[in-house]
Amino acid sequence: MNELSDPNDLSDLNELSDLNELRDLNELRSLRGDAPVPDTDRLAPRRALLTAEITARSEARRPALARPKPPGRRAFLAIAGAVTALAVTGGAVVLLSDGTPREAVASSGRQLLSPGASADTLELAAATVEKLGAKEPGPKQWVYEKSTSLGQSAPTTAEAWTRWDGTGWARLPGIPPSGRIKDWDPNKLQVTYGPNQEEKWKKEGYDDRSQRQFYRFLATLPSDPDRMMRRIRDEHAIGDIEGETPAQRNWREIAVLYRSVLIPPRVQAGLFRALAKIPGARVEKGIKDPIGRPAIGVTVTYDKRAASGAQGKQEFFFDPATYVYLGDAAALPGFKGTDFSKADPEHGSPAMISVRNAWGVVDKPGARP
């Protein structure tokens, strides 16, 4: 080790710090010398994390005239390790002006990830959503959802408002009551109020729930995905189907859960981890959801007709940046394609498709976020 010529000379201290960090980096590289080369798609989540870290540090750096403080040894090694992991694969990442890795642009387009890369992507999604904040709405607030159904018939879009305590409902367009109603206008907001049924529903075993009860049920679920799905199967009560496999039942349970507009972040993370455990589940990148929005998909394919009647491709759609749920699609026997954005009557593609166009919490029926 070099001796300091002057204990008060900060430049010598900085030089010594740089030498120590360089030695640490060289030692780290030597440990990776015989590492196997991973798939390109398996590295995608790591590249995304690295890009986010570099971007965040660039935005937070001090003005040019101020001398920046050297990163701590632990932070330096963390970044160096990530860079080294990319360097040994020959996959250099060049940042564009918008912070997008150049390699990601080159490999754009529909891409079905390998099982390992799919698991990594779902873990990244879980780690992202579980950091979100969550605040339960007040009892008099309303949950708003705009959704579109398409696939077997002409696209149908509707808006619905549900009061958090379960005492109010509203819808556009309205649903006509039974019998002939003169001058009934479907485009007039239809609002219905009723008594609080939460205690009754609870005594009946949660076969029906208010938005508030359902949210609070989800909040009690354990974080572990296996235990979470066991509780859901035991208490969610969507009904058993004879001959259905545990994986098919889990997929169907998760599909019903995603129909709830508000899900606690910890539970959202658990659902991504549960999807990663379903045999055959794969992540599909570079796609669009059925109404044309950029998306990633989580898909399984039933080669034989399932006990539920489903056969072929089944898929959930999520926002590629925030991992917010966008919708889901289920092929029916006869669907031969892979792109649900073309699953409509014009193409003769039998599929059940539900898309969430918009959602949020508002203070009264008829209001929009």
pLDDT: which is higher, 68 or 34: 34
Q: Is the pLDDT confidence value at 70 over 50?
A: no
Ranked by mean pLDDT, which of 30-39, 149-158, 165-174, 201-210 comes out on top? Answer: 165-174
Q: Give the H/E segment covering residue 184.
A: none
Question: What's the rounded mean pLDDT across residues 292-313?
Answer: 92
The pLDDT assigned to 20 comes to 55
The pLDDT assigned to 169 comes to 94
The pLDDT assigned to 65 comes to 35
pLDDT: which is higher, 4 or 290: 290
Q: How confident is the model at residue 37 (pLDDT cuts 50, 70, 90)?
A: very low
Question: What's the rounded mean pLDDT across residues 218-238?
Answer: 88
The pLDDT assigned to 49 comes to 53
Neighbour tally for 307: CB within 10 Å? 15
Q: Is the pLDDT confidence value at 359 over 60?
A: yes
The pLDDT assigned to 120 comes to 97
Q: How far is CA 150 from CA 158, 340, 349, 355, in A?
A: 12, 10, 11, 8
Question: How far apart are alpha carbons 267 and 217 in whole angstroms?
Answer: 11
Q: What are phi and psi of 148, to 5 degrees?
A: -130, 135
Question: How far apart are alpha carbons 263 and 244 in whole angstroms?
Answer: 26
Q: Is the pLDDT confidence value at 85 over 70?
A: no
H helix runs in 61-114, sequence order: 73-87, 102-106
Burial of 279 (0-12, 13-18, 19+ CB in 10 A): exposed
Least confident window among 33-42, 205-214, 285-294: 33-42
pLDDT tens readout for residues 346-357 = 555 567 889 999
The pLDDT assigned to 207 comes to 56
Q: Is the pLDDT confidence value at 56 over 80?
A: no
pLDDT: which is higher, 151 or 89: 151
The pLDDT assigned to 349 comes to 57
pLDDT: which is higher, 297 or 237: 297
Mean pLDDT, the chain, whole residue set: 75
Question: What's the rounded mean pLDDT across residues 227-250?
Answer: 87
Q: Is the pLDDT confidence value at 338 over 90?
A: no
pLDDT: which is higher, 358 or 81: 358
Q: Which of 331, 299, 326 is nearest to 315 (CA)?
A: 299
For the chain, how far is it from start to end, CA to CA, in angstroms? 63
pLDDT tens readout for residues 94-135 = 222 233 333 333 345 889 999 999 999 999 999 999 999 888
The pLDDT assigned to 29 comes to 47
Is residue 352 within 8 Å of 148, Cβ to Cβ?
A: no
Q: Which of 301, 353, 262, 296 is nearest to 124 (CA)?
A: 296
Q: How confident is the model at residue 154 (pLDDT cuts 50, 70, 90)?
A: confident
Is residue 131 within 8 Å of 105, Cβ to Cβ?
A: no
Q: How confident is the model at residue 74 (pLDDT cuts 50, 70, 90)?
A: very low
pLDDT: which is higher, 49 or 340: 340
Q: Is the pLDDT confidence value at 5 over 90?
A: no
Q: How confident is the model at residue 299 (pLDDT cuts 50, 70, 90)?
A: very high
The pLDDT assigned to 152 comes to 66
Q: Is the pLDDT confidence value at 48 over 70?
A: no
320 has which bridge partners?
none
Question: What's the rounded mean pLDDT across residues 337-352?
Answer: 67
Rg (CA), the chain: 26
Buried b / exposed e along 45-71 (16+ C-beta atoms within 10 A): bbbbebbeebeeeeeeeeeeeeeeeee
Q: Is the pLDDT confidence value at 241 over 80?
A: yes
Dihedral, CA atoms, 229, 231, 233, 235, nearest 10 degrees?
Answer: -150
Ranked by mean pLDDT, which of 70-84, 208-222, 340-354 comes out on top? Answer: 208-222
